[in-house]
């Protein structure tokens, strides 16, 4: 190799190394091992540092709870252009960014204030189907497992579909205050939401979804007014009846009982914060998850 070629190869290797180092810092920031403030301080201390080459936008996006829309708005307010790197910030921009990171950006503790969302609706509208889709496709959402005194249906698994309890154990849980809410549903069996797993998940900053009946939804709102209530609707009454009969898990008598509850429940939809029509399972699940995201963002940043 002649000398200019050697220079080109060395420069290209250095560029690759710098790109890798930048990616490693970005990764560390995203993993929250480096706080955004520390990264900013390092960048400002040395314009030669890898941190100095990070884009402000990427730094802000690494903060838990700050999404792209919010980040763009924050950058506009700080008067920093989207392509700006930390090294390229002017003195006033540096001060504004530092002030934002230290005092106004969400902290990890704030992100623990995540949402509790209740999905309710009439029998056979598809609450279980939509919840199962969310469980299988959105691991970031924590699904509450209810307790019930009804017998398992074929294929239902204890501890996954429900905790199947006898009356004595259900009574004990009520007496020990272990339910966030509980109710007799369809005038028959008792169902309840165990409270400790929900408190734990919320404390860990997760979003929690409860799939429960309308009486339970009202109790949750009473106990935790910050909870969001989502009502799942069928495309039509006839479709609801088709789904209930098509599921084939209830006797004709039980179907009748459930349909008469459903009429009353449909009348309660205006009490809910949001309504989602379940014409297509994936689309309905997406809508519910999106509502959870929006609610979480409002909780975290609404006051800002």
Ligand X SMILES: Nc1nc2c(ncn2[C@@H]2O[C@H](COP(=O)(O)O)[C@@H](O)[C@H]2O)c(=O)[nH]1
Ligand Y SMILES: Nc1ncnc2c1ncn2[C@@H]1O[C@H](COP(=O)(O)OP(=O)(O)OP(=O)(O)O)[C@@H](O)[C@H]1O
Binding residues for ATP, by number, are: 121-128
Which residues lie below 8 Å from residue 64, measured CB to CB, with a gap of 6+?
A: 32, 106, 108, 111, 205
**162-191: contacts with ligand Y (CB under 6 A):** none
Which residues lie below 8 Å from residue 91, measured CB to CB, with a gap of 6+?
A: none
- Residue 171 CB coordination number (10 Å): 13
Considering CB distances under 5 to 8 angstroms, the limit depending on partner class, which of ligand Y, ligand X, none binds residue 126?
Answer: ligand Y
Q: Is 234 in the site for ligand X (CB under 6 A)?
A: no
Sheet containing 141-143, strands listed edge to edge, beginning at the edge strand earlier in sequence: 141-143, 207-211, 116-120, 228-233, 274-277
Considering CB distances under 5 to 8 angstroms, the limit depending on partner class, which of ligand Y, ligand X, none binds residue 146?
Answer: ligand X
Distance between CA atoms of 11 and 202, rounded to whole angstroms?
A: 49
Instruction: Tell me the per-residue interface mask from 107 to 126 with ligand Y, x by CB under 6 A, - otherwise.
Output: ----------------xxxx
Determine whether 141 is exposed, middle or buried from the number of CB atoms within 10 Å of its CB (0-12, 13-18, 19+): buried
Q: Within 13 Å, how many C-alpha atoms sit on residue 241's CB side? A: 8
- Residue 136 CB coordination number (10 Å): 9
Q: Is 149 in the site for ligand Y (CB under 6 A)?
A: no
Nearer to ligand X, 192 or 234 (CB): 192
Shortest distance (Å) from residue 226 CB to ligand X: 19
Nearer to ligand X, 100 or 191 (CB): 191
Q: Is 128 in the site for ligand Y (CB under 6 A)?
A: yes
Considering CB distances under 5 to 8 angstroms, the limit depending on partner class, which of ligand X, ligand Y, none binds residue 193?
Answer: ligand X
Nearer to ligand X, 29 or 201 (CB): 201
Considering CB distances under 5 to 8 angstroms, the limit depending on partner class, which of ligand X, ligand Y, none binds residue 278?
Answer: ligand Y
**117-176: contacts with ligand X (CB under 6 A):** 123, 127, 146, 150
Distance between CA atoms of 128 and 211, rounded to whole angstroms?
A: 7
Shortest distance (Å) from residue 127 CB to ligand X: 5
Considering CB distances under 5 to 8 angstroms, the limit depending on partner class, which of ligand Y, ligand X, none binds residue 183?
Answer: ligand X
Query: Could you give the C-alpha distances from 79 to 58, 74, 90, 224, in angstroms and in order?
Result: 16, 8, 10, 39
Q: Is 280 in the site for ligand Y (CB under 6 A)?
A: yes
Distance between CA atoms of 263 and 123, rounded to whole angstroms?
A: 10
Considering CB distances under 5 to 8 angstroms, the limit depending on partner class, which of ligand X, ligand Y, none binds residue 129?
Answer: ligand Y
Shortest distance (Å) from residue 114 CB to ligand Y: 24
Instruction: Note the residues at the interface with ligand X (CB under 6 A).
Output: 123, 127, 146, 150, 181, 183, 185, 191-193, 211-213, 215-216
């Amino acid at each position: 190799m002649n000398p200019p070629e050697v220079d080109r190869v060395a420069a290209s290797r250095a560029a690759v190394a710098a790109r890798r180092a930048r990616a490693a810092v970005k990764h560390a920031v995203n993993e929250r091992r480096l706080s955004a403030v520390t990264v900013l301080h390092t960048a400002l201390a040395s314009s030669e540092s890898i941190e100095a080459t990070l884009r402000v936008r990427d730094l802000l996006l690494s903060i838990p709870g700050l999404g792209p829309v919010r980040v763009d708005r924050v950058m506009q307010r700080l008067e920093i252009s989207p392509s700006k790197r930390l090294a390229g910030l002017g003195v006033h921009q540096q001060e504004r960014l530092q002030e934002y990171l230290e005092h106004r950006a969400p902290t990890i503790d704030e992100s623990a204030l995540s949402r509790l969302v209740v999905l309710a609706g009439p029998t056979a509208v598809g609450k279980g189907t939509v919840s199962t889709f969310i469980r299988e496709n959105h691991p970031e959402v924590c699904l509450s497992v209810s307790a019930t005194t009804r017998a398992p249906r074929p294929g239902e698994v204890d501890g996954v579909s429900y905790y199947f309890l006898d009356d004595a154990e259900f009574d004990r849980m009520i007496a020990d205050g272990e339910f966030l809410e509980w109710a007799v549903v369809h005038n028959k069996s008792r169902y309840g939401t165990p409270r400790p797993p929900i408190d734990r998940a919320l404390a860990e900053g997760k979003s929690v979804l409860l799939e429960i009946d309308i009486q339970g939804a009202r109790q949750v709102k009473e106990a935790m007014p910050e909870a969001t209530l989502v009502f799942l609707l069928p495309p039509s009454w006839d479709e609801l009846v088709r789904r209930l009969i098509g599921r084939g898990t209830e006797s004709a008598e039980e179907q009748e009982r459930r349909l008469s509850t459903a009429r009353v429940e449909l009348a309660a939809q205006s009490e809910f914060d949001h309504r989602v029509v379940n014409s297509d399972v994936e689309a309905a699940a997406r809508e519910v998850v999106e509502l959870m995201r929006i609610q979480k963002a409002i909780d975290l940043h609404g006051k800002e």
